[in-house]
Amino acid sequence: MDVSGVVEDCRRCVNAGIATLHKFMGVEAVEWRAEGSTIWDTEGRDYLDLLAGFGTLVLGHRPPAVVAAAKEQLDRMPLASRVLFGKQVTDFAAALAELLPGDLQKSFFCHSGAEAVEGAIKLARLYTGRPNIVSAEGGYHGKTMGALSASGRDVYSKPFGPLMPGVSHVPFGEAEALGAAVDGETAAVILEPIQGEAGVIVPPDDYLPQAREICSNAGALLVLDEVQTGFGRTGTMFACDQSGVVPDIICLAKALGGGVMPLGAFSSTAEIWKVLEDNPYLHSSTLGGNPLACAAGLAAVREIQRLDLPSRAKALGEHALARLRRLRDEHPDMIADVRGRGLLIGVQFPDSDIAGLVIAGMIQRRVIAAYTLNNPEVIRIEPALTIPEDALDRGLDAFEESVGQAEELVAGLSE
């Protein structure tokens, strides 16, 4: 395979900035096939995947049960007529209803996290008849206009103004500030239970319960965006399970498609959903809820339960956090903080240049890692929840070596 031809076509026909960025990080390879936590490039070199598609691949690459379900559906009927009843979508929605917290019961399917958030915002405005949305600084909800307005990093939103009106941001984790921002005009508060792209920020234990109370008292809906934290990633099926808080609307994507299909959803209670039922096309999507994606999603959800991936994430996460905290103690000038839950872990560096050096060091060692999108000073460790323990340790060895290498480089520069 002509790698330079792929790079050139990326530059010419996709996005020259991507080509430049990848080259800058030392990436000169084209991915070709993958299995579990291993990716092979066109030259046959293997890479250990500690990023898992920004947390999408909780079951790893090409989980056999999900691939088989998708193949079977592909051979029979991948897309819907949109007129007859669909068994894949109803089976999948019913399985989700079993799994979702509290009385969340009805689901709308789409293709991405951003679309799930758009739907949640629309449903909250429709149900409450109120205009305003309160979200958190640093939060990440996607890049379509509504989701972008709720997200909290100017670099992504400012160039596209004017954004959706009625959105305000409060510091994450501070219940008092949230309480002060919510009033009788608030349709919804939208939060991630643990902020992912902000740099893996775990709020105080009483934050979500307090947010729940603030919303209930004000008649506003609590929307939890579990696009990244859902399906076992943080050690429980949903991150909100750890606080016992049940949202009014939950947003899902990433892991929902089992690492095989793009799939998102927003789900709510039968009571709230009523406003979408008089005219069921008030919110719709031609390809949303298609049989192929739903067949994959159903197999994924069953497989996540069968393998008890939340428990696995919890155990492996504790192991990884302990190792990374030891590393922080050994390199206090390089690592400012290590935090996370389950296998959603962030390592905070003093600045983004040092984080960039460490990522480049990982790539040299053929380990795939990246920074968090709203905070480039933080490297995320979020592999598949199926990653074998020895592979995770190999990845952490590479991380340690890369931190040491970056430290030497920085010391050399300041001499």
Q: Which residues bind ligand PMP (CB under 6 A)?
A: 54, 112-114, 117, 140-142, 192, 196-197, 225, 227-228, 253
Closest approach, Cβ 189 to ligand PMP, in A, equals 15
Which tokens in the block code for residue 307?
A: 């393998």
**Do the bridges between strand 344-348 and strand 367-368 make them parallel or antiparallel, or are there none, so unpaired?**
unpaired
Closest approach, Cβ 265 to ligand PMP, in A, equals 11
Residue 130 or 141 with smaller CB distance to ligand PMP: 141
Residue 170 or 357 with smaller CB distance to ligand PMP: 170
Instruction: Name the 3-class secondary structure at 101.
Output: coil
Whether the CB-CB separation of 58 and 66 falls below 8 Å is answered with no
Closest approach, Cβ 40 to ligand PMP, in A, equals 25
Closest approach, Cβ 289 to ligand PMP, in A, equals 16
Instruction: Name the 3-class secondary structure at 38.
Output: strand
Closest approach, Cβ 264 to ligand PMP, in A, equals 6
Closest approach, Cβ 21 to ligand PMP, in A, equals 17
Backbone angles phi and psi of 265, in degrees to 5: -160, 150
Residue 195 or 402 with smaller CB distance to ligand PMP: 195
Residue 114 or 300 with smaller CB distance to ligand PMP: 114
Closest approach, Cβ 355 to ligand PMP, in A, equals 18
Residue 49 or 225 with smaller CB distance to ligand PMP: 225
Residue showing the smallest CB distance to ligand PMP in the complex: 113
Residue 41 or 192 with smaller CB distance to ligand PMP: 192
The per-residue b/e assignment along 2-23, b for 16 or more CB within 10 angstroms, e otherwise, is eeeebbeebeeeeeeeebeeee
H runs (alpha helix) in 290-336: 291-306, 309-330
Q: How many CA atoms lie within 13 A of 12 on its CB side?
A: 6
204: left (phi over 0), alpha (psi -120 to 50) or beta: beta
CA–CA distance, 262 with 255 (Å, rounded to integer): 9
Alpha-carbon Rg for the chain, nearest whole angstrom, is 21
Residue 39 or 227 with smaller CB distance to ligand PMP: 227
Q: Which residue in 185, 180, 182, 183 sits closest to 128, CA to CA?
A: 185
* Cα–Cα distance list, 55 to 101, 132, 268, 291 (Å): 21, 30, 23, 24
Residue 49 or 197 with smaller CB distance to ligand PMP: 197
Rounding to the nearest 10 degrees, give the CA dihedral for residues 199, 205, 208, 210.
-130
Closest approach, Cβ 240 to ligand PMP, in A, equals 13
Closest approach, Cβ 53 to ligand PMP, in A, equals 10
CA–CA distance, 185 with 271 (Å, rounded to integer): 20
Q: Which residue in 248, 249, 250, 220 sits closest to 237, CA to CA?
A: 250
CA angle 90-58-200, nearest 5°? 115
Residue 198 or 338 with smaller CB distance to ligand PMP: 198
Closest approach, Cβ 237 to ligand PMP, in A, equals 16
- Please give the distance of CA 59 from its chain centroid, rounded to a whole number: 14
Residue 310 or 361 with smaller CB distance to ligand PMP: 310
